[in-house]
Amino acid sequence: MDFELSDEQKMIKETAKRFSDEVIAPVARENDILERFPSDILKKLAAVGFLGGPVPPAYGGAGLDFISDAIIFEEIGRGCSSVRTILSVQVSLVELIILKWGTEAQKKKYLPKLCKGELLGSFALTEPGAGSDPAGLKSTACKKGSGWVLNGSKTWISTGGVADVCIVFALTDPSKGSKGISAFIIEKGMAGFTTKEIKGKLGLRAADTAELFFKDCPMPGDALLGNENEGLKIALSALDNGRYGVAAGCVGIMQGCIDACVKYSKERMQFGKPIASFQLVQDMIARMAVDCDAARLLVYRAGHLKNKGVRNTLETSMAKYFASEAAVRAATDAIQVHGGYGYSNEYPVERYLRDAKVATIYEGTSQIQKLIIGENLLGVRAFV
């Protein structure tokens, strides 16, 4: 196995690092405080091709490999997890799903505009009573003439309040349970479709999160994504992509913690010498560095399998589980290294902790990831 990045990947890393340092990081604190959606940053991400990710150039994308994709997520996540979340949803949960499951007409209609940032996308699976259990979906889509009528609600939908297009999952055959779910592409402004922003979040405060409501919402027949009753399969393939972006973003949080702690510990003087010389400070920073490298390698392994087109659910779940939990540990220790200053937003480490915590919850909780790993190892499902 070759651990060396290619020249192209090194160039992408340098570009993404510079973008994060010069464009994202300087306004991350203010955007977090004001809960301000970073529309201006998204336009600049589109300009450098990062909104296109692995989408082929024929559909307006950059045609990047998945290691390059992870590098971008990491560097953007190091600057601001809110921006990384928006990027992950756009690329991993919307573009790649339309690319895999969409008709040629759907691909041509949506992908070029999504890659250029002319459209923002969201992914609506979670409901008030259906989080880890997609079989608990209550939203329904009933056939009417040549189209469909959608009723129900969704919650905790990233970018849901500002998205132009949304991939929505609903029951089309309730008698089949989870095997009766279908996926649809709907557009902002459709009759009966409304949203409500969710405020007061612990972290990801600059990333829009919303509730979605559908009341007798008419959808054309060509809104169906994939085949009827194929929605669960589509959702699971999307989550493999989404978890990969979350894991890579968590590596970025860890790297940000390391960078902040190295700088601060060399400058902070106590007992007549920099705290970098204290053994227990070095212990915390060393653990961050080991966890960061381990998480990055787990992400790259999953990316390598994605590049080969090989099933990677197990490897992606491992990467997401380890990276998200390790990011929380790293941010907690980073605050400790900074002492009282770490408890204020004068330094980025308190934001890293708040942003890291949700990574252990969304896109499948850490507990769900362990059950996926266990099922793959034991061949026994812990849940139906």
Do 224 and 261 reside in the same domain of the chain?
A: no
373 in any annotated domain: yes
CA distance 133 to 368: 10
| Domain tally, the chain | 3
E strand or H helix at 121:
strand 121-124
267 is catalytic: no
CA distance 332 to 322: 15
End of a domain among 199, 229, 259?
229
Degrees to nearest 5, angle at CA 188 with 187 and 194: 120
Residues 6+ apart with CB under 8 A from 377: none
278 in any annotated domain: yes
Do 98 and 185 reside in the same domain of the chain?
A: no
383 in any annotated domain: no
Do 252 and 371 reside in the same domain of the chain?
A: yes
In this predicted model, what pLDDT tens digit does every residue of 52-70 receive, in sequence order? 989 999 999 999 999 999 9
In this predicted model, what pLDDT tens digit does every residue of 1-40 receive, in sequence order? 678 999 999 999 999 999 999 999 999 999 999 999 999 9
64 contacts 45 by C-beta, under 8 angstroms: no
2 in any annotated domain: no
In this predicted model, what pLDDT tens digit does every residue of 320-367 receive, in sequence order? 999 999 999 999 999 999 999 999 999 999 999 999 999 999 999 999
End of a domain among 63, 91, 120?
120
188 contacts 165 by C-beta, under 8 angstroms: yes
Do 238 and 373 reside in the same domain of the chain?
A: yes
Find the domain containing 206 and state its range.
122-229
31 in any annotated domain: yes
CA distance 286 to 66: 28
- pLDDT value at 384 more than 80: no
Do 158 and 206 reside in the same domain of the chain?
A: yes
CA 176 to chain centre: 30
- 355: domain CATH number? 1.20.140.10
End of a domain among 120, 140, 164?
120
Do 212 and 167 reside in the same domain of the chain?
A: yes
Backbone angles phi, psi at 325, to 5 degrees: -65, -40
Do 105 and 219 reside in the same domain of the chain?
A: no
- Which residue in 210, 172, 207 sits closest to 193, CA to CA? 210
Distances in Å between the Cα of 212 and the Cα atoms of 130, 208, 237 are 14, 12, 22
Q: How many residues does the chain have?
A: 384
> Which amino acid would we find at residue 184?
F
- 49: domain CATH number? 1.10.540.10
- pLDDT value at 131 more than 90: no
Q: Which residue has the tokens 């007549």?
A: 272
In this predicted model, what pLDDT tens digit does every residue of 194-205 receive, in sequence order? 999 999 999 999
CA distance 314 to 347: 36
- pLDDT value at 134 more than 80: no
Distances in Å between the Cα of 223 and the Cα atoms of 55, 113, 346 are 21, 17, 47
Q: Grade residue 381 by pLDDT with cuts at 50, 70 and 90.
A: confident
91 in any annotated domain: yes
Residues 6+ apart with CB under 8 A from 335: 342, 343, 349, 350, 353
Catalytic residue among 187, 228, 363, 375: 363
Do 135 and 113 reside in the same domain of the chain?
A: no
267 in any annotated domain: yes
Do 74 and 45 reside in the same domain of the chain?
A: yes
Do 103 and 133 reside in the same domain of the chain?
A: no
- % of the chain at pLDDT higher than 70: 99
Do 203 and 240 reside in the same domain of the chain?
A: no
pTM of the predicted protein model: 0.95
Do 64 and 141 reside in the same domain of the chain?
A: no
299 in any annotated domain: yes
- 142: domain CATH number? 2.40.110.10
- Which residue in 121, 142, 129, 131 sits closest to 186, CA to CA? 121
In this predicted model, what pLDDT tens digit does every residue of 248-301 receive, in sequence order? 999 999 999 999 999 999 999 999 999 999 999 999 999 999 999 999 999 999
